[in-house]
Amino acid sequence: MKTVFITGASSGIGAALAKAYAQQGARLGLLARRKENLEQLRANLPNPERHHIYAVDVTDHAAVASAAEDFLKQCGQVHIVIANAGISVGTLTEHQGDLPVFDRVFQTNVTATVATFAPFIAAMKTYSKQENCRLVGIGSVAGIRGLPGAEAYSASKAAVISYCESLRVELRKNRIRVVTIAPGYIDTPMTQVNSYPMPFLMPVERFANQAIQTIDAGRSYRVIPWQMGLVAKLLRLLPNPVYDFLFSRAPHKARVEEAGK
**Catalytic residue ranges:** 153
Q: Where on the phi/psi map is residue 218: left (φ > 0), alpha (ψ -120 to 50), or beta?
A: left
CB 223 within 8 A of CB 229: yes
Write the DSSP string, 92-104.
Answer: -TT-GGGHHHHHH
- Which residue in 167, 72, 34, 150 sits closest to 113, CA to CA? 167
In whole angstroms, what is the distance from residue 199 CA to residue 1 CA?
38
In whole angstroms, what is the distance from residue 140 CA to residue 79 CA?
23
> Letter for the amino acid at 225?
P
Listed in order, strand segments (DSSP E) in 12-122 are 27-32, 52-55, 80-83
Is residue 44 within a helix (H) or strand (E), and if so which, with residue range? none
Q: How far is CA 17 from CA 145, 148, 195, 258, in A?
A: 26, 30, 26, 31
For residue 183, whether the previous peptide bond is cis, meaning omega lies within 30 degrees of 0, is no
